Chains A and B, each alone.
Chain A
Amino acid sequence: MTTRREFLKSALAVSATAGSLDVAARETHRAPPTGVGLLYDATLCVGCKACVAACKAANGNPPEFSTADPLWDTPLDTSGYTFNLIKVYRHGTMETKDAEQNGYAFMKTSCMHCADPSCVSACPVSAMTKDPVTGIVAYNPDQCIGCRYCVFACPFGIPKYQYDSPTGRIGKCELCRHRHKDGYYSACAEVCPTGATLFGKTTDLLAEAKRRLALKPGTVTTFPRGRLGEAAIPGVQWRPEPDQRYEGVVGNYVQHVYGEHEYGGTQVLKLSGVPFEKVGMPKLPPYSSAATSETIQHTLYGGLIMPIAVLGLLTWRAKRAVKPEEGDDA
């Protein structure tokens, strides 16, 4: 019994030491100030799905069918082959656009490019990374082991896997980063006829979103199309564009920029006339789960201090109990 008491004492001593190391909690990361993203304004969206088609073309993705006759690309959700989708909210008679009651509304589904992405924290082999300048959450199939922890972890259900292939990849929006070197930005924003989807620096997009929220619904204002502002990325020269601005009517917004604070902020921002929870955008806390998870990991394993201390304790105990001269087994 004495030995057990001794052991417990030393165990307590170890945990006390580990506790006094003052392990700092890992704070939720903030998006880089140069980060780029999208602003989606559901009140401007007409549901034409030009962005869905352009996304497929830009990423070389095949059509997917949900109807009896495989005539058009009709995916019901994003998938390993569909990185961007416009979904519809329907209620009652569906008379009024952007009304919660007896109305309908559109919502874009694609990667939010979180400031502190769960997929990046989850990925064991750094196949999901967040660019320190653009903040784009990028995927590298050559590094990916296909464990699908990113699919499991994302609160927006964004990374998807290609289950039908023996060499399946993860598929998700990467803001068309492969087109940047040729001066092209995200295809969805480029083709959007109403400017419902804009590409730009997230700080610029947030300012534009707040400008719209401050306007009186029903009044007329100028809406940009395509690319907003300069969205400077080192080494990237955007192709010149004509002035595409137009006069339009201010929508009846919910006074909330989705993505400003959710999970510590996202680089894709959204405006809507219908409450976000009704159009499939989850209510999330202002801190990321990645921060919680990594705080636990770093507390337990930071600098391998705790494991080494425990190993020392265990070795000391085992040295006394395992007797080599007996030639006994373990």
Chain B
Amino acid sequence: MNAHAKPAPLGGPLLNAVTFTAGVLIAVMAVIVLVRFFYGLGAVTHLNDGYPWGIWIAVDVVIGSAFACGGFSVAMLVYIFNRSEYHPLVRPALLASLFGYTLAGVAVIVDLGRWWNVWNMFNPWTVNPSSVMFEVAVCISAYIIVMWIEFAPTFFEKFGMTEAKRRLSKIMFLIVALGTLLPMMHQSSLGTLLVVAGEQIHPLWQTPLLPALYLTTAITMGYAVVLFESCLASAAYRRAIETPLLTPLAKVMLGMLIAYLVVRVGDLLWRGAWPRAFAPSLEAIFFWLEMAAFVAPFFLIGSETQRRNPARLFLAGVALMLAGSLLRLNGFLIGYQTVIGAETAGVNYHYFPSLTELLVTVGMFAVEVLGYVIITRRFPVLPREAAHA
């Protein structure tokens, strides 16, 4: 019993094809962001008054932060539900979360039209506590700080700061508790953001249960990201796959998924929105794509034997990441209409992201990849391998 392999740096070169590509993509993003700050949002995006929020919000922030729920989902399993066997998964998951959230925070600043006023969000005389956006912003900001503290032992170990590490470990339980509460709060609120838009959100995605739907899918996406990332890291770094951990984790994920689907389908039936899924529309097509992606994991890893197959675990992870992404993309963009009955109002707004807009989103993900590679190679994150040591 006991004694998981301690985390250790992987070592190896920092410059390779992956990090070089990421570096180029980040440079391209930097140029576009500069143009945006000098010439306005219209210069590099296809945003318009019909679609005031594009992929920088829907993908970089809403979907990006859900992808970054691995750390919180696994930490909750280990520390709140006392399942210490998953402990080796915590650090790598937390690292991915750290980057995901920090970048979501950066992406928001790039998207803010009047970013120099952003301090008003933390000014007690100007804040509007009834605003869902306020709750999301404050919780995400606090969570980014909490996560850096949660991850600090990794840096303390690297730099031999044993005293600092010991001191921090005494209050770590409080940091862990906060690090579980804050994402629960803002991941649910990211769904609540849509409620005030009322009839502008297609009935397939507008319900008072949005906070519950977004929270449960954020947690399942967190586990899906861990499956995805563990398989990818094993393949890329030629390490043994952590199947004995991933197999039961996948089962937990399926359990949460069943709970989600019961609530989701129950809500659609109860509100009578179900027939809208059968109307010939773009929204209906995207609804079925979303549902198919949510159901796919049951076919991929429904049995215990299937859950021992790393390829299937990987695919199930990808399917669920896609499913949660579609739920969010559908709510924020596909199922959104700025003017109700726009055809009679004589307005016709369209949105499809511009190339420069896409390149910024790609650049944000490139920062995550680059950061992950550098930190896992130089800092103790992934569990030390017997064969490697």
Chain A residues within 8 Å of B, Cβ to Cβ: 3-4, 7, 76-77, 79-80, 87-89, 109, 118, 120-127, 141-149, 151-153, 155-157, 160-169, 277-280, 282-285, 288-290, 292-294, 296-298, 300-301, 307, 310-311, 314-315, 317-322, 324, 326-330
Contact = CB atoms under 8 A, between A and B. Distances in A.
B90 A145 contact: no
A153 B197 contact: yes
Contact of A315 (B112, B134, B169, B174): B174
Nearest to A295: B208
Contact of A167 (B53, B94, B111, B114): B114
B45 to A, nearest CB: 8
A24 to B, nearest CB: 14
Nearest to A150: B52
Contact of B196 (A142, A164, A289, A301): A289
B153 interface: yes
Contact of B113 (A148, A277, A326, A328): A148
Interface string B42-84: 1101011110110000000000000000000001001111101
B82 A3 contact: yes
B267 interface: no
A317 B112 CA distance: 38
B161 interface: no
A146 B336 CA distance: 20
A279 B172 contact: no
A329 B346 contact: no
Contacts of B117: 125, 142-146
B265 interface: no
A152 B94 CA distance: 32
B381 to A, nearest CB: 10
B315 interface: no
Interface of B: 7, 37-43, 45, 47-50, 52-53, 75, 78-82, 84, 90-91, 94, 111-115, 117-118, 120-121, 123, 126-128, 130-135, 137, 150, 153-154, 157, 165-166, 169-170, 172-178, 180-181, 184-185, 188-189, 192-193, 195-200, 208, 211, 336, 338-342, 344-347
B112 A314 contact: no
B132 A297 contact: yes
Given A148-B113, A307-B185, A319 B173 contact: yes
Nearest to A308: B181
A76 B347 contact: yes
A157 B339 contact: yes
A121 B40 contact: no
Nearest to A160: B49
A327 B131 contact: no
Nearest to A141: B114
B49 A7 contact: no
B172 A322 contact: yes
A243 B211 CA distance: 56
15 contacts: A87-B346, A123-B128, A146-B113, A147-B133, A156-B339, A157-B345, A163-B41, A277-B344, A282-B340, A292-B198, A292-B208, A294-B130, A318-B177, A328-B169, A329-B153
B346 A322 contact: no
Contact of B118 (A145, A166, A322): A145
B339 to A, nearest CB: 4
Nearest to A328: B169
